[in-house]
Amino acid sequence: MTNTEQFPFISANTTLGEAGFRPYMPIQFINQQSTITNSALLDTGATVNVLPYPVGVELGYVWERQTAAINLTGNLAQYEARVLVIQAVIGQSEPVQLVFAWTAVQVPLILGQVNFFIEFDVCFYRSQLYFAVSPKKRA
């Protein structure tokens, strides 16, 4: 992987010992009104990227103005979500447009298949407690 950056697994639950480590990484969101940095969970089993309601509000989005709805699946299937396309920076990479399901339910910020894992290659080295991320090669 070229332009690869490494990130450590973060202990999300110290009572679980080594089983409590999760692949969280910093992500910077850029909007016309603000730029914020947050921590996102990489989830290869998540179909979509999921944005918690407070993060969308902090970026200046208004729920009622977002008219494109999206159906969530799995544990979140019963909750309403709106589509947001947000410019984001992962590590030292160039900004990229990421599509999020913005939901009012209490969830972590999740990076999933659409479209984080489409835009980035990720290698997990779980036994060594780190993962490597690189932007996809552009033609």
* CA–CA distance, 135 with 116 (Å, rounded to integer): 10
Residues in the chain: 139
pLDDT per position as a tens digit, 74-92: 888 899 999 999 999 999 9
pLDDT of amino acid 115: 95
For the cut 90, the answer to whether the pLDDT of residue 54 exceeds it is: yes
2 pLDDT band, cuts 50/70/90, is low
CATH number at residue 75: 2.40.70.10
- For the chain, give the mean pLDDT: 93
For 8, 29, 80, 120, the CA distances from 125, given in Å and listed in that order, are 9, 26, 35, 16
Share of the chain above pLDDT 70, in %: 98
Residue (of 52, 58, 83, 59) closest to 70 by Cα position: 83
How many domains are there within the chain? 1
Range of the domain at 50: 5-135
Q: Mean pLDDT across the stretch 95-117?
A: 95
Share of the chain above pLDDT 90, in %: 79
pLDDT of amino acid 82: 97
* CA–CA distance, 39 with 54 (Å, rounded to integer): 13
